[in-house]
Structure formats: structure tokens, C-alpha cells
Chain A
Amino acid sequence: MFKYIVKRILMLVPVLIGVSIIVFLIMRVFSPDPAPIVLGQHATIESSNQWREANGLNEPIYIQYFNFIKGAVTGDFGTSYYTKTAVTNEIFSRFPATIELAIAAIIFASLIGILLGIISAVKKNTIIDHAGMIIALIGVSMPIFWLGILLIILFAGVLHILPSGGRINPLLQPTGGIGFYLIDTLVSGDMEAFIDAFKHLILPALALGMYSMAIIARMTRSSMLETMNQDYIRTARAKGITDSKVVTHHALRNAMIPVTTVIGLQLGSLLGGAVLTETVFSWPGIGNYTVQAIMKSDFPVVQGVVLLIACIFVLINLVVDIIYAFIDPRIKFTKKEG
């Protein structure tokens, strides 16, 4: 087991090196020269050249890559072309916002998705089932950013009950803490700030989680239907156990195995969705930051963030694989074979 995990982690290293090369090639070889973008259109050739020299962009490409990797290994991704601040610090200050949003979204997606899936499966081929699956189908077909816009129009524009963007009222912003506003405000006992942060979180979490909710609902439904067809469910029914007990005690646990995998994979894909959600809701997280950096050709920021997101993405997938092996007794690690 331990060996398996170590082996899987080691296998990630070449993948991440590859990712860094891909991003590096896109940004440094195919992208336009950042000097006129950073310095403005009126920069002289002289000053552009000086700027490139100072930022190491006149070096041969492999030297640039080597320097980047040398820094990355020690956690140093360089400094932003614009703000001159260390990219690593910028990432860490914005990261909790994205994680808080992603966790809220996956909780919403899992709870509602599983519930919707179970109800649809139990009430198969009824109006309730069809309605549930139509909701799920629309959920996977709607662009995240448009759903966000609709939510803002309805809850902020028409009903005036939720804020249209941002993370918290700046006057209530908690200082220090771990950067998760819900936890920070709770710890400091500031209920007003907690409620404000919670209100800001609802709409972005709904928008970001809707797609995953739909996927989870569809997966739960088909997995439940498959499980309900198994012999042991029929046996349980034949013994006279009530329907609700068959569902909760016998079917659910087995049906949840593939659903767990899907939830894990969705957590990874939320990172991609966060890019759009954060833009719509002006959420001060890493996705918003990345989009701004890509638009401005801020190489060090883009390289750092994309590499970090890729790291998290592959780690989540690895953890999902391991959890999957834990909850499904039929999967055994090949530890006793060799």
C-alpha cells in the first residue's frame, strides 16, 4: 500500500516537468514579446531591450527554462512584471479564497446531486425522475459564467437579498487568520462578518457547483439503478425489508463507490471552472488572478499559477484513486505479487 502510493507520487514528477515545459513553451516561444505590453507602446527599443535583459528574457530559451525550474524547486516563481511582488506570496494570499469557494461548491454539488440522484432512481420513470434529470441536463449544458450572471440578476438585481460580487464587505474583512473567511470570522467571534462572508459565498458556490451537481446526480441515479437490480437487493426485498431501508442500508453504500470517484474528479475540474466564476463574481482568488496575468503576458505569474494548479489537479486525482481503492474491497493493491 505504502509502496503503491510512493510509486504513484514518483510517477507524478515527469508529468509535472512535462506540464512546466508545455506552459513554458506556450508563454515564451509562441507568445508575443511582453516588453511593449509591460512598458507601454511608447517604449523605445533601447528600454525594451534593457527590460528584457533585466528579466532574463534575452538568455537562450533552455537557460530561461533551467532558471525557472531552479527557482520553482525552492518555491520561488520569480516576481510579477507589474507589481514586482513575489509570485509565490501572491499565490498564497489568493489561494484560500479559491479553495474556500471550491469546497463550498463541492459540498453543494455533492449534497444536492446525491439527493437528486437517489430520488430520481427510487422514483424511476415518474414525473419526479424526469424533472430531476431535466434539471441535471440543463445543469451540464449551461455556461458557468452565464449561470453566474443569471444568479446576480435575480438575487442581487431583482430581489436585492445577496451581494453581486466580492468576498466580504471590506470594512468587515478579518485580519490574520488562515484566509478562509468563514473560519476566520467564526474564530474571532465576529458574527456580522461571518454572515456577510457567507452571503458573498452563496452565489459563486452555486454557479461553480451546478455543473458538478448535475454530473453527480446523473452518476448517482445510474449507479443506484444498477445496484437496485442486483440479486442481494432482491433478496433483501424478499425478506420483507421496507423500501426505504433497502435503499439506505443495502443499496446506497455500494452505489456510492463510483459516485465518490466522480466527486473527486469534479473537485479537480472545479479549478478550471473557478477561472470563470471568479471573473464573474470579482472573487479575489487564483482564477481571477491567472486570467489577468495571462491577458497582460505576466509570464512569471502564469507559469507559477498553472504549474501549481496542475500539481493540485494531479494530486487530487491520485487521492481519489487511493480512496477508491480503500472503499472498494474488490480493488487490491498489487503488493503481494512481486
Chain B
Amino acid sequence: MKQKKAKSLVPDASSQAAVLLEKPESLFMEMWDALRENTAAVVGLIIILFLMVLAILGPLVMPYDPNFSDMTMSFIHPNAQHWFGTDQLGRDILSRIIAGTRISLTVGLSAVAIALTIGVVLGSIAGYFGGKLDTIIMRIMDMMLSIPSILLAITFMAALGKGIDKAVIAIGLVSIPEYARIVRGSILSVKENDYVQAARVIGNKDSRIIFKHILPNVLSSIVVRATLGISSAVLDTSALGFLGLGVQPPAAEWGDMLGRARGFIFTAPYTLIFPGVAITITVLAFNLLGDGLRDALDPKSRKN
């Protein structure tokens, strides 16, 4: 499958040169063209853009201060003043959910950025150089993969302590192996191609071959994985928050809101509905976009 993809991107020498010359544009345009036809992916993209605007504007669109607590106002059912009601401390749930958008997207994007950077470097080294280095790196990845990622993330958080920055590190670290594996596999499938050999023969440095000649060709699978990776990072963030290992109070994080409202599950169930809806919609949007990108970039599944 991967072989096929590499071939379709590089069918012959002349278009290969073209691909190399204008690769950022062509890959982006190729993605966009294929994506436009996929309604589900476009819906996902629109939701993501909406969430990003919400995260950036944050305080400007919140009806109330998300951390303002007034015990006389606690447990107000959803009404015209408080669309989503108020929580146990009298804080406006809608405002807290909007505030949580920023936290979830920040952790999701940053954790994937960390995992992606380290994973790409490790996977490239392992795939390109092979041999002992490959064995050592991939065995370490195997070890990390043999602990369920959420358990590993919890263990990291317990060691590091609470905080958004620490959640980013914990979730980022546990997702490294996925990227390392994908990049290594993709590199193995293209590194024997003629154009890579040619680049080597004319005396290019290894790092240049990897970054200029190999990685652009495996970029599409990395982009797909990273998009889906954001959705699992958002899920993991909420799970850590739910277990009480996420943010420092009073910061509003969706999972943390659910964890703290758990005791009121029968007395005020609405406090447990909206934060969960927010998580699900965010994760769903990234899943839709990721699936769409995969269909768009994988010629094999496009036929179906």
C-alpha cells in the first residue's frame, strides 16, 4: 500500500523533479482538492475552525468569568441567563466550557507537536540507518507500547505533578512510538527508490537526504496520523483531568469538570452532560478530518 502511494507520487523522472521542486504547494493542493469532495471531512474542518476561533476569542465571548464562584448561585438549572446552568460552586458552565476549549486544543496540539518532532527524528534515524541503532530505538518504542498509553500517562503525571504543561509532556511522551513506527515504516518503503540512491551518489549529506528527499514523500501518512493523534490527545487530556491529575484548580478543563461534578450525578446530572458533549464534538471533528485526509491521500481507499 505504502509502496503504491510512493509510486503514485513519483511516477517517472520528470514529474518526480516537479514534485520535488514544488512539493509544499502540490501536497497541500492535492490534499485540499481531495478533501473538498468529502463532506464529512469538511464538516470536521469547519468545527475545528470554530473551536479555534472560540479558543482564541475566549474571554471576549464568555458570558461570565469562568472562575467566578458564588455559592448562592450553585446548581442553577440551564435557563436563559445560564444556558448550561451553574456548577457546585456557582460558576457558569458555558463560560467554563469555552475556557476549556483553549486548554484542550493547546494540550492536544502541543502534545502532538512534541510526539511528532521526537517521533519523526527517532523513526527517521531508525529507518534510514538501520542496524543496531534501529534495533535499539525500536525496542525502546516496543517497551513503551507494551504499557497501555493512558496508564503510562497517569504514571508520568503522578511523577510530574499537576499542570497543563505537565499534561502536554506526559501525553506527548507516550505518543512518540506511534510516530516513530509510521515514519520508520514509510522510510523503509522509499529509501531504496532510485531517486534516493541518486541523491546519495551525488554526495548529499544524510540529513539532507532524509529531510529533502525522503520525508516529503512520507508526509501524507504523518499528517493523517497527527490529525487523528490530536483527537486521542484530547481524549487523554480529559481522562487525566477526570482522574484529578490534569489542571490546577480553578482552571476549567473539560475532564476535570466531569471529575469534580461526579458526586452530583443524580442531583444535578446536567453538570455532567455539557463538558462531555464538548469533548466528544472536538474529538469527533479531528476524527472526521483525519479520516477524510486518509481517504484523500490514500489512492487505494479513494477507489472505494
Instruction: List A residues at the B interface (Cβ < 8 Å).
Output: 14-16, 18-19, 22-23, 26-27, 30-32, 137-138, 140-146, 149-150, 152-153, 156-157, 164, 222, 225-226, 268-269, 271-273, 275-276, 279-280, 290-291, 294-295, 297, 302, 306, 309-310, 313-314
Q: A15-B142, A143-B279 are in contact. List 17 more A-B contacts (CB 8 A).
A: A23-B155, A26-B155, A30-B159, A137-B288, A141-B287, A146-B279, A153-B265, A222-B304, A225-B304, A226-B304, A269-B148, A272-B148, A272-B149, A275-B150, A275-B154, A306-B151, A310-B146
B196: CB under 8 A from chain A? no
Interface of A is mostly: helix
Whether A143 touches B158, Cβ cut-off 8 Å, given contacts A15-B139, A272-B148, is no
Number of A-B contacts (CB under 8 A): 131
Whether A31 pairs with B159 at a CB distance below 8 angstroms is yes
Distance in angstroms between the alpha carbons of A146 and B254 in the assembled complex:
11
Q: A27-B155, A31-B158, A143-B242 are in contact. Are A271 and B148 (CB under 8 A)?
A: yes
Whether B143 pairs with A19 at a CB distance below 8 angstroms is yes
The range of chain B's interface size is: 35 or more
Residues of the B chain whose Cβ atoms lie less than 8 Å from the Cβ of A309: 147-148, 151
In the complex, which residues of chain B have a beta carbon less than 8 angstroms from the beta carbon of A268?
Answer: 148
Interface centre among A32, A141, A142, A279 (most CB of B within 10 A): A141
Q: Tell whether, in the assembled complex, residue B154 and residue A291 are in contact, meaning their CB atoms are under 8 Å apart.
A: yes
Q: For the complex, give the distance between the alpha carbons of A32 and B155 in Å.
A: 12
CA distance in complex: A143, B283 (Å): 9
Q: Tell me which of A22, A275, A291, A314 contacts B144 (CB under 8 A).
A: A22
B148 near A275: Cβ-Cβ < 8 Å: yes
Q: In whole Å, how far is B228's beta carbon from the nearest beta carbon of chain A? A: 10
Shortest Cβ distance from A153 into chain B, in angstroms?
A: 5
Of chain B, the residue at the smallest CB distance from A280 is B262
Q: Mark B25-54, 1 if CB is under 8 A from A, else 0.
A: 000000000000000000000000000000
* A143 B235 Cβ-Cβ under 8 A: yes
From residue A79, how far is it (CB to closest CB) to chain B in Å?
Answer: 20
- Whether the pair A19, B148 counts as a contact (CB closer than 8 A) is no
**How near does chain B come to A105, taking the closest CB pair, in angstroms?**
14
Q: Which of A143, A144, A269 is the most central at the interface, judged by chain B CB atoms within 10 Å of its CB? A: A143
